[in-house]
Structure 1
Amino acid sequence: MYLAKSYTDQSSIQRKTFEIKNNDFRPAAMESALSFRPFVVHLKNMLKDQPSVKSEFYRYVISKFENEMTKGSAVMIRDSARYKELMELVYMILTPLATNEKEHFWALSTPIPDKIFFSTDGFYNFLTQQTSSGPDITISPVELYKNQQTQYLYRLILDRLYKIPTHAKNEVLYQYTDVTTNLPKSYSIYTDTRFIDIQPKGNLPQLDYKAMEPYLLEGADTAPLEELLPLRSFRFEGFSVITMIDVTAAQATEIIRGVLVNHEYHTCKNESVIQALKTLAGNDKIDFGLIPSFQINGKFVVAKAECSQSMVVEAAKKYGMTQQTFDTLVTEYFANPEMVVFNHLSKDSLSEHPLLKLLIAEGISSYALVPVFYNKTMAGILEVFSKDDVLLDDAIFSRLQTALPLIAQLLKYSTEEFDAKIETIIRDKFTPLQPSVQWKFNQAAWHYLEKSIGNTKIADIETVTFEKVHPLYGAIDIRNSTFERNRAVKEDIKNQLTLLTGTLSSLKKMIKMETAETLVCACDRWSSEINEYLSSADEIALNRFLDAEVNPFLNRIKIEYPVAKDIVDFYFAALDETAGMAFENRRKLESSLQLINTSVAGYIENAQKSLKSAYPFYFEKFRTDGIEYDMYIGQSMAPEKPFDEIYLKNLRLWQLTSMAEIARLTEKLLPQMEKPLRTTQMIFIHSNAININFRNDERRFDVEGAYNIRYEIIKKRIDKALVRDSRERLTQPGKIALVYFNDHEAEEYVEYISDLQEMGLLDNNLEYLELEELQGVIGLKALRIGVKHL
């Protein structure tokens, strides 16, 4: 914020005076006076308005100032050293008593900031340490050049004399590279202007707030203001208080957040994220890598092209580790993720472990694997490593904690993009584009072809965009599908253990072996544990027990004792996923899920096809445990056909009607299900049009712009919404939930609900609900209405 040099050299650092260079801007041309009078007035007002335990102290300070300033209110800057005791009283009142002056960056300056005449040791030392040539420094890039300084003064004038709020903060950000750590540091510099009095010289001209508003924005041209209100027509009296706060950690996390918002985490190969993590760690000799948790068919894989920032992935390629060995290491780690730290590695610390051999070969001295979780699900791995002898201790990992939620989101986004790439490749090979948008792609391809002809450079294909389209979102979810899946797994395992115990007991009668007795006891222990609780770790451990101990034993028995063959074969036949009793509950559940999803998907496909004759729209559905879909309609999708709001209303009515029909359909399916499952129906009402782009890298449509992204975020979070002041889930079987923000958004749907009630589709139990706050989303409301079943 300041360009400063030593003005007078007093005996105490706190009384050093700094002059602020202002290039061609000359605040001396305006009338300005250093004075403590506004501060004394402030104290008197506090005594009058807010009597407190400090009142006696304030009276003492007021008396001290009035006695010392007998010759008038103005103070010459060159004489400021004489008032050291008064300035220390100002510091005592404006800062907490326990403040460490060597760590607190605080200073007093003239009302128009051109000289600093009093500061803490910390402030002075900070300035002098920025250059090897003493306190003649440039703080960049937030210097107060002429326009910035002028804006600062006019904001004061308009606020004090015209009561016009400016909304701009008296705060700037100063960033520099620390010469010790070679890492960026960030400070927020705040100017307190409470103790500045502004007096006009003559009558104030009349001003129109609306006319002034454009000139109050940051960076606006101040020339019109200078004509209306010349600065020479005002007198500034008092002093400014300057405070610097270290916001390095906050800025580092903000950099990572910016990468997420702007979808830059692939284009920049995470370089800015890595640099931000170094800043948080406070050591340039520490480096970082990221490994997302990509899966293909339920197995973890390492896409080397997507993990170019991972040290261990690059080392595995460099030293020729086989893909199978590396995938095995990754799978084992993801199966039992925990923080692993290796310090003081060297060539002398030989190891046969493949990972440690890689690290030592690469010259790594310190290495750590940090599992990163997103909503309690493994999102990936953060690598922390150094080739120098840096100790990776709790202090470093504690500083990184603030960034881990953002790193988790980044890894989650990377995984989602990877999954989307796989999905869109499949969709591209097997599913043609919908006719409603095909024309736009044909147009873009033709433009690309035209630019490519006779051009030696590879042409860029234009982004396919549809502007101002109206989004409709719906979700049919299967209630408690995760719980039912876990219960089915648990029941199947219990049945398998019961069968295994019976098998081993039969073998004991035929063959006298201690191993059979040991395994029976182990089965009994597992059966009792499963009756209590079955975690994913327990399931992994049980499968390891069955694969490593039970199955080899039974196979050996079958070979060595032919009389036992039928008993053992009967057990192994039960393990067949397609027909065996050990998978019976899971098969029944999957059969019920498949019945619901197939029926709902078929209904939606048939219903939405009949709508396309009215007006073109884009429709895309997604398969989860249930089915979600997005619809977009607007003029940009059919430029040759005039768009009318009636088409949007028809889609909205269809959406509500189809949800009622789907609720009826799934209820009718209950007698056919081997595992009875019920569905919930939800609609998200968004009245504002949005822009969508076709992302060429992912081959799918995505919303455009920060405001529109909020729409996507809300969609992903509302399925878990709760009714305000309760633990009740918004979505309920047999009902339709309609989520919205503003009451006017719901009015149209209330009319539709009334129509469908008259038709006998919906019950007369409409509820108006407020929802609990979601992460980053407040103010949501909902309608909920029951469906009449046949």
Structure 2
Amino acid sequence: MELEYLYPSPFKTLISFHLLIEQLEEIAKSDIEYRANYAKSLLKQVEDKPELINGIQDVSFIKENETTIRNLLADLFPTVLTHNEIKAVTLPFINFTFNYTERFKKILNSSGTTFDFEIRDFDEHQFYIMNCHIILNIYYNQNIDNRQPLFYDIPDENGIMNHYRILYNADFIEVIPTDKMIPLSQEEIYELIDNYDDLALWKEKFPPNSWILKGFGIVTLVDVTVESAVSNLKTNLLKSEVEKHNFEHDFEDIFKSIFKTKDVKIGFAKYNDYTANFEKSFFNEDKLVSYLLHDIEDVNCESVLCNFTLESLLDKKEKIVVSDVEKFQSIALAKRLLKQNIKSCILVPIIKDNKLLGIIEVVSSISRALNSINANKIDLILPYIVDTVERSYNEIENLEQAIIQKEYTTIHPSVYWKFKKEAQNYISSASNTKDYIFKEITFKEIYPLYGQIDIKGSSEKRNQTVKSDLKSQIEALIDIVSTIKESNDLIILDQKMFELMGFLEELNSPLKADTEQQIQRYIETEIHPIAESAKAISTVEVKIKDYFESLDPKTGMFYKSRKDFDYTLSVINKKMASILDEKQAEAQKIYPHYYERFKTDGVEHNLYIGATIAPSVPFDKIYLNNLRLWQLQTLCEMELEHHKIKETLPFVLEVTSLILVFSSPLSIRFRMDEKRFDVDGSYNARYEIVKKRIDKAHILGTQERITSKEKITIVYSHSHEEVEYLKYIKFLQYKNILEPSIEQFEIEELQGVSGLKALRVKVVNDIVLDKKYSYQDLLNEIS
């Protein structure tokens, strides 16, 4: 029977002892008589067996000459170490082995199987490339570090899985090329090293059976059962919930390997700090078993533990080891354990930040299987268990929030309480029905505040940057095609020049919706292939190289002007939003209110204030006045910040600010389909209509927009709103935040909305705001 690999290999394998025999021949010439005689004796035994030198292909030869081979390998397999070392003869990465040490034989006999198991997590890809590494290192002297931990998992007679690290000695292996071998240059070797994942490339350079692997290797196994079990435990604890479908079984198998006994089970009792109870806990949707609790859901700790165990576990937070439970039959805990056929146990408190989270229960039905000596192995894995239990607790504590985010959205803290209440209703009913219908969340009789700081003319400027980049790119391509034409006077190049010039002319007109896509498609399909094919022309080589280096990696187009615009827009939005968020934290101290903001070409914000949002805090309209004054001052700060940074940005963009005043209380409802709040009721819809259309509105009878750079526009409907905001404006003028001039005008009729008016005032752009004024400050100034 010929030796065959499990997977295709670049090697044809010959088991040979030629290198060892050559060493014996040298020893036979030695002046040390006993060494020389020993070597000659061995050589005498093998002289009529040329296969040992030329190579063994039929593995039955090894069985027939087992004694001769064992004698030949005696120096490498010393008899005095045969009961200690786990060694055998093999070839790297294959399962065929022979000449086992006695300890290796004992392990195989205990497993009840022949040595035909596979290397853990070792696939065809790894097998082929690691064989190629042998060739690169031995034949091409590359010194590639291909070392990675390889393991065998071998069960013992009790079914406990033991883990062994594999070590190879390849001193007696020779790599010989065949006529199928493909010689490799250093550049080709570098290409292979840089493409580990390309198995097809490796097979191309090292075809199957193109090399001979001649000789033998020595495999040594090191028992790393505990270390591997700890590593597997870490891996299991880090798995996602989806991957933990067989977690409890895997978990117990790991503990069996750690404690070297098949009779080990794991339980867990959660500790409730508020009630001082032990409770059964959930993990991966299944209730974990607890041997402390047995058949009850929860119980007071004092009812389960005696004074000693109570003090050790809860007060001192030390583990308890009972190697023989039957010795303590008079104690209630021992009775409960014996009822479950538990004869030895280890109880380990799970502590995080000096807080008791629960008790890990390691139990066995075998007396003294668990004891004070092997209990110390728990210390190896305890940190990972602690972290996992804490993570599980955090997940449970965050369940309400998870439900809210799934069924609703990320909720502002001011209204979180109402969503939490609905989540609690769901949790309390979840055990009874799966058809719970989430209620819509509404807040009635609340006052809205809307404001925005908008990038002035952003659409036009964005189109300008698109045109600028497209023009630059087309001009560069016209230059390239023109230069190519000097060397290759092809008619098709005239046509391409004409088409490019046409696009350039088209860009002098207003940009159409699909112009950019048309030009990009044309360049990629019609012009780039020409440029690629002309790279070898010396007169245009540098231009083409510079052109392609100028392309944006993501879009494949020129992106300088657009990049400057996008960067500027991003900086402005980020800065404006950060000011608004920072000031909003202060505003919440005025009165709890709902807040949301949106970043588009600028920053918009919505505020809603009223008693229904904060039912525990008495509401008064003075809080609304304060919030309106806060909003006006915050927009002033945002205007000032923009004025300060705009000259430092690569693209000059102006901003305009707007406040919409709406004094009638309205209702907002959380839209389940859109996962956001919206005004509720047809009457209140007028407010939303105005919000969406007001920033593009004109002053009545003119073509001038109501918003203007460095000015804040305040839109209102009623005279009392005008009076209120004039007070705010005059107060801020007095504080030298707003300029003295105030513009007042009517706004053109919007679709379905008429009678709107506005105030417009300019922000003083050379001051430093170091104080926020309240409505009370305004009243104090008036009085």
TM-score bracket, shorter-length normalisation: 0.3 to 0.5
TM-score (norm 2): 0.44
TM-score (norm 1): 0.44
